[in-house]
Amino acid sequence: MKVLLSIKPEYVQEIINGNKKFEYRKRIFKESVESVVIYSTMPVGKIVGEFKIEKILNDSPTELWNKTCDYSGISKASFHDYFSGRSNGFAIKIKEFIEYENPIDPKVTNNNFSAPQSYKYLRNESDSLNQVSFF
């Protein structure tokens, strides 16, 4: 199964550049997920690519940083701000990122599209994201 994640454009660019090999989350999926589809938040507002998940780390923020900082793609301060007040967190290791040649504007197929706050399951196994059932 795939999920749709909203990621800020500056972090998406770090993924594209290969500097960010871990995507951090406060919450993780309840179902088995093999790949992540990336929605680059505004001002981009498009689905720009996807990646296979190599593994998901679950640890304290301090340990997550120690294990992933070389490929975090974010500053230590931003990392700690994100996990402030949390006793644990998750780091999704990016195995293989594929940038879409033609990014998808989800509002073209669904005027009511809203970017997920955390994540959204993509239950349709169609090869075309334009046909995914939540659009």
Q: For 53-106, what is each residue's pLDDT tens digit? A: 999 999 999 999 999 999 999 999 999 999 999 999 999 999 999 999 999 999
- pTM for this model (two decimals): 0.90
In a domain, 112, yes or no: yes
What is the token pair recorded at 67? 């294990």
In a domain, 132, yes or no: no
The CATH number for 71's domain is 2.30.130.30
pLDDT the model gives residue 109? 84
CA distance 108 to 73: 31
pLDDT at 37 over 90: yes
In a domain, 135, yes or no: no
Q: For 108-124, what is each residue's pLDDT tens digit? A: 988 899 999 989 999 76
Integer-rounded Cα radius of gyration of the chain? 15
CB 76 within 8 A of CB 43: no
How many domains is the chain built from?
Answer: 1
pLDDT the model gives residue 39? 97
In a domain, 21, yes or no: yes
pLDDT greater at residue 81 or residue 130:
81
CA distance 6 to 126: 20
In a domain, 64, yes or no: yes
In a domain, 133, yes or no: no
Q: The domain containing residue 79 runs over which residues?
A: 2-127
In a domain, 44, yes or no: yes
In a domain, 58, yes or no: yes
